Amino acid sequence: MAMIHILEFKKMQLDGATMIDGFPSAGLASTIAANYLIASLNLDQVAAIDSNYFPAMSTVYASKPKFPARIYADEAKRLAVCVSEFTPNPSLDRPLAKTIFEWSQKQGCSLIITSVGIPAEKEEEAPHEAAVLGVGSTERARKRLDEAKVGQLQTGIILGISGVLMNLGRWENYDVIALLAKVHPQIADAMAAAKLVEAYNRLLPEVEVDVTPLKEEAAKIEARLKTLRTHVQPVEGPVPSPEMYA
């Protein structure tokens, strides 16, 4: 099994905190939302996630080199967010999920929120108009979804890191919530990301993030999509950086 390592730069007291998984899925909505939270809340980098099976690369922000997979956190806001600039090989989904799960437990986090982009059918013009749905690993997590007025998926399949996190939470009676959002799979879907951030706001009353700048960027993306959809082949671009929405 591939080995995943967490390199901690600083210690924080995260008892009772929430860990948000921002690894990419279809439409990159989960990663855009995670980056937006990091920038909006000014979260501090506390750790890097590394592996011999990750791309040999360093990303540079504000003239500083950074690992391509990182964890940010804030003690006062009781929040941690992991984010990645690349899409891991599916063979890494299980060890990555286990690493995130075990680190969250070790830090004393009480909840993990993961998210999945569900590709919309080609004829759907605005998949982001569909409500974000949730799945809870425990009765506590499902009650939390009810209290936040997030509808719950009745039947379906959750793949990848999110699916493994759900199973680990179910087995260990640990609260994990998976949020599912319809996305345009051929673009970086900022509107779907905005819907996820709105769901975070409802699930985490102590964290309030203004999604207006993200929605404004989403409107620009939607306009470009409608203009170019019939003229160009979709090409997956890089994951947007936090500065894109600052």
**pLDDT tens profile 70-108:** 999 999 999 999 998 888 889 999 999 999 999 999 999
Model pLDDT, residue 2: 53
User: CB of 228 within 8 A of CB of 186?
Assistant: no
Average pLDDT, the chain: 84
Model pLDDT, residue 131: 79
Segment 155-172 shows an average pLDDT of 94
Model pLDDT, residue 61: 79
Model pLDDT, residue 190: 80
* Class of domain 5-229 (CATH, top level): alpha beta
CA distances from 238 to 24, 50, 128, 204 (A): 11, 19, 21, 29
User: CB of 222 within 8 A of CB of 191?
Assistant: yes
Segment 129-155 shows an average pLDDT of 92
pLDDT above 50 (res 38): yes
Segment 154-178 shows an average pLDDT of 95
Output 218 or 221, whichever has higher pLDDT: 218
* Entry pTM: 0.85
For a pLDDT cut of 90, what percent of the chain falls above it? 52
Q: DSSP H helical segments within the chain, as ranges? A: 29-40, 93-107, 139-147, 160-172, 190-203, 212-228
Rounded CA gap, 211 and 137, in Å?
A: 27
Instruction: Report the helix count and the strand count for the chain, using DSSP H and E.
Output: 6, 11
For a pLDDT cut of 70, what percent of the chain falls above it? 82
pLDDT above 70 (res 178): yes
Model pLDDT, residue 29: 85
Dihedral class, residue 63 (left if φ above 0, else alpha if ψ from -120 to 50, else beta)? left
Local structure of residue 85 (DSSP, 8 states): S
Output 131 or 240, whichever has higher pLDDT: 131
Residue-wise over 29-59: b if at least 16 C-beta within 10 A, else e?
bbbbbbbbbbbbbebebbbbbbbeebeeeeb
Q: SS3 of 184, please?
A: coil
pLDDT above 80 (res 224): no
